[in-house]
Structure 1
Amino acid sequence: MRLTKQFWLSLAAIGGLLVSVAWMAGLFSSKVAPGNKAPTTAYLGETLRVTTSLLTLSERAPGSVVAKENTIIASRLLAQLKTLTVRAGDKVTQGQRLASLDDADLTAQVAQVQAEQDANNAQLQQAQKQLERAQALLQQGLVAINQVDEWRAKVDELLARRNALQQQLTAAQVALGYATIHAPFSGTVVERLVEPGTIVAPGTALLSLYNPAQLQVQAAVREQQAAHLQVGDSLTIYVPAAKLTQQATISEVVPVADSNARSFLVKLDMGLLPGVIPGMFAELEYPLEQRPAIMIPAALVQQYGQLDMVQVVENGQLSRRYVRLGRSLGAEVEVLSGLNVGDTLAAL
């Protein structure tokens, strides 16, 4: 009984194995009758011939927006700051009064010199009259010549003193003028550095001011490329924060290289742009060289995952061609490999 059971199990295993072999051999599938492959339809749409064109390579250098015209306004006197009429962000015009210092001592000094001038002028007028009388009496032989000389020396002394007092008055008036501080140019106040009531010394900074109408972009350019840049060249600059692209003119190439970065500082003048202020990040784009390249419309490239593909027309039929892309320039893209000059693309 036990041998009969083993026999039937072995027979079932052999039968299952034979059925599996027959299925893999295709005995249970319907066969297709032999015949010719259905012909494909020829492509009759628009095509594009692959050619080469000169590609201008460029490079970008990071830089910063700076104010071409900026200054720190400082005191030229030792005095107390009385008023400071502007704050950070205020717009000022050239000649506008910005601050005033205590000028009581300087006003008194001007008045004192003017009083001394008045006294000296009175003495000079009297001495000139005495000289004229002495000269008249000398002609009549009534006085000695030494008296005339004495009055002439007195007049000369008072004339010299008059000139000295005039110089003193000019100096006092100039010093008094320093007590009122005006804007040297039209611009924007960057920072207010002191407050009224502070005792300031000569050289103490009061305000920081810049002219927003005269901005520059300063960028460090590799020394190999800086040699090809000249003053007056027009280059493209980008200000990402303001989303602006602008042409700027090179105004200066600093003739000394940075020994650490091996680069030259290039300065470009730019016009007044909305939303652009000193300190913003900027990029300078400058040309490198020209070389032949295969450029095709970017719209003809199809993406499959990480792969790029184009449709190529070969013998009137469409076929896929995978390509490796390079730089994108506007509506065109560079093809590094996968296409040859003379290939025909389907303009789908």
Structure 2
Amino acid sequence: MKTPQVEKKSTLTKSIVPLLTLIILLLMVAWLAGSFDSKVTPGFNQPAALVAPTTYTVKSTPEAIFEAVAASISAKQATIISSRLLARIDKIKVRSGDTVNKGDVLITLENKDLSSSVIEASEQVNAMEARHIEAKQNYTRATELFNKKIVSKFDLDKSKADYQSSKAGLTAAKQSLAQAQTTLSYATLRAPINGKVVDRFAEPGNTAQAGAKLLSLYNPLSLRVEAQVREQLALTLTQGQHITVELPTIKHSLMGVVEEIVPAANTGSRSFLIKVSLPYQENLLPGMYARVLIPAGQAQKIYLPQESVSHVGQLNFVQVVINGETQKRFVRVGTQSKKEFVTIISGLNDGDIIMTPQ
């Protein structure tokens, strides 16, 4: 049997639990309704300051255009060193890349037999000179005796013939000596120009064939550009005209002078060979690739500030103002020809107004 105190406590617990549950539910509803969040006084926020965009009026400008023509560098002064003799090579004193001066010895050939020929010819000259002196003295003496009527006309004519024969023999001996000396000089091959050795095609001990190339040289100061230019452009060029030459390998441009225009067209390509001289450049070598910029008239070009062109992937567009409203228009963009400007190839016309954001 329960006591009165226990019954009273049980009744109190049964009444408090529902009340606490109700209070918790009310607090949760109030929290979800935002009753515990900070409140903002009703009113309007101050609008952010707007940046007014600027406009740019499209205007094309005339500009000279050039046509790039593929070309190659060549040397105006280039030579092949070869022998006039059939002889064994004794020495080769240079290699590819060496710099030589005109007259420097490049190659020497064996010349013992040629030296002997020179000595023999020299002795022959000495013998003929002695004979010539004797014949001259005899002719002088015979002339004096003939004047004194001591010798006959026959003796005078004979001494004269001997004198003339010795004179002719002396001349022939001297010519033989000169020829032998010239032939001996062929055994020493010298540089015909100031230049640089391109390649060497033989080694000491090889037999030099007459006419076979042994070395090749070129003058670095005589480099020029040669290009085949289509006839429509070639006919507009003149000798002495300055044109731009691009050298992609060394990333450099030079101003060249039209030195020669071959006055005959290539029947296959209908082009003319143009030769353009270049100032000396240490890095240039024969055979290098170049581009010649040939003037090809004028064209109207449009330039826009870079910030006025937007990009979506590989597409480019600008905001064009038409009747007070902006419209998106796609354009073709070229290279950056000027600082902070890009070239517009197509999509815009003179007078178009472009919206440029700040």
- Decide whether aligned partners of structure 1 residues 318 and 185 sit closer, same or farther in structure 2, where only a CA change above 3 A counts: farther
The answer on whether the counterparts of 2:97 and 2:196 sit within 8 Å (CA) in structure 1 is: yes
Partner of residue 24, structure 1: none
Partner of residue 174, structure 1: 182
Partner of residue 289, structure 2: 281
Q: How does 1:152-167 map to 2 (within 5 A)?
A: 152-167=160-175
Partner of residue 94, structure 1: 102
Partner of residue 216, structure 2: 208
Partner Cα separation in structure 2 for residue 150 and residue 102 of structure 1 = 46
5+ unaligned residues in a row in structure 1: which ranges? 1-37
Partner of residue 356, structure 2: 346
Deviation at 1:111, TM superposition (A): 1.1
Deviation at 1:193, TM superposition (A): 0.5
* Identical-residue share of aligned pairs (%): 33
Partner of residue 342, structure 2: 333
The answer on whether the counterparts of 2:53 and 2:357 sit within 8 Å (CA) in structure 1 is: no
Deviation at 1:326, TM superposition (A): 4.9
Within the alignment, does 1:150 sit opposite 2:158 as a pair?
yes
Partner Cα separation in structure 1 for residue 194 and residue 141 of structure 2 = 61
Encode CA deviations 1:15-38: one digit per residue, 9 max, x unaligned. xxxxxxxxxxxxxxxxxxxxxxx9
Secondary structure of the 2:125 match is: helix
Partner Cα separation in structure 1 for residue 278 and residue 305 of structure 2 = 33
Deviation at 1:294, TM superposition (A): 2.5
The answer on whether the counterparts of 2:326 and 2:355 sit within 8 Å (CA) in structure 1 is: no
Partner Cα separation in structure 2 for residue 145 and residue 173 of structure 1 = 42
Encode CA deviations 1:82-104: one digit per residue, 9 max, x unaligned. 11111112221221110101111
Give the RMSD, CA atoms, in angstroms.
Answer: 2.5
Secondary structure of the 2:210 match is: coil
Secondary structure of the 2:266 match is: coil
The answer on whether the counterparts of 1:310 and 1:323 sit within 8 Å (CA) in structure 2 is: yes
Secondary structure of the 1:106 match is: helix
Partner of residue 29, structure 1: none
The answer on whether the counterparts of 2:60 and 2:350 sit within 8 Å (CA) in structure 1 is: no
Partner of residue 187, structure 1: 195
- Decide whether aligned partners of structure 1 residues 338 and 143 sit closer, same or farther in structure 2, where only a CA change above 3 A counts: closer
5+ unaligned residues in a row in structure 2: which ranges? 1-46
Aligned residues: 309
Partner Cα separation in structure 2 for residue 345 and residue 151 of structure 1 = 115
Within the alignment, does 1:83 sit opposite 2:115 as a pair?
no
Partner Cα separation in structure 1 for residue 351 and residue 175 of structure 2 = 86
The answer on whether the counterparts of 2:199 and 2:215 sit within 8 Å (CA) in structure 1 is: yes
- Decide whether aligned partners of structure 1 residues 159 and 318 sit closer, same or farther in structure 2, where only a CA change above 3 A counts: farther
Encode CA deviations 1:176-199: one digit per residue, 9 max, x unaligned. 111111111122211110111122
Secondary structure of the 1:213 match is: helix
Partner Cα separation in structure 1 for residue 127 and residue 51 of structure 2 = 116
The answer on whether the counterparts of 2:81 and 2:214 sit within 8 Å (CA) in structure 1 is: yes
Partner Cα separation in structure 1 for residue 139 and residue 74 of structure 2 = 68
- Decide whether aligned partners of structure 1 residues 326 and 303 sit closer, same or farther in structure 2, where only a CA change above 3 A counts: closer
Secondary structure of the 1:43 match is: coil
Partner of residue 198, structure 1: 206
Partner of residue 117, structure 2: 109
Deviation at 1:299, TM superposition (A): 4.8
Deviation at 1:333, TM superposition (A): 3.1
Partner Cα separation in structure 2 for residue 327 and residue 347 of structure 1 = 21
Partner of residue 7, structure 1: none
Partner Cα separation in structure 1 for residue 119 and residue 315 of structure 2 = 89
Q: TM-score, normalised by structure 2?
A: 0.79
Partner of residue 43, structure 1: 52
Q: TM-score, normalised by structure 1?
A: 0.81
Partner Cα separation in structure 2 for residue 76 and residue 285 of structure 1 = 44
Deviation at 1:343, TM superposition (A): 2.7
Deviation at 1:283, TM superposition (A): 1.2
Partner Cα separation in structure 2 for residue 51 and residue 151 of structure 1 = 105
Q: How does 1:205-244 map to 2 (within 5 A)?
A: 205-244=213-252
Encode CA deviations 1:258-305: one digit per residue, 9 max, x unaligned. 222222221111122232211211111112121333323345423222
The answer on whether the counterparts of 2:114 and 2:183 sit within 8 Å (CA) in structure 1 is: yes
- Decide whether aligned partners of structure 1 residues 100 and 176 sit closer, same or farther in structure 2, where only a CA change above 3 A counts: same
Partner Cα separation in structure 2 for residue 265 and residue 102 of structure 1 = 44
Partner of residue 33, structure 1: none
Within the alignment, does 1:305 sit opposite 2:336 as a pair?
no
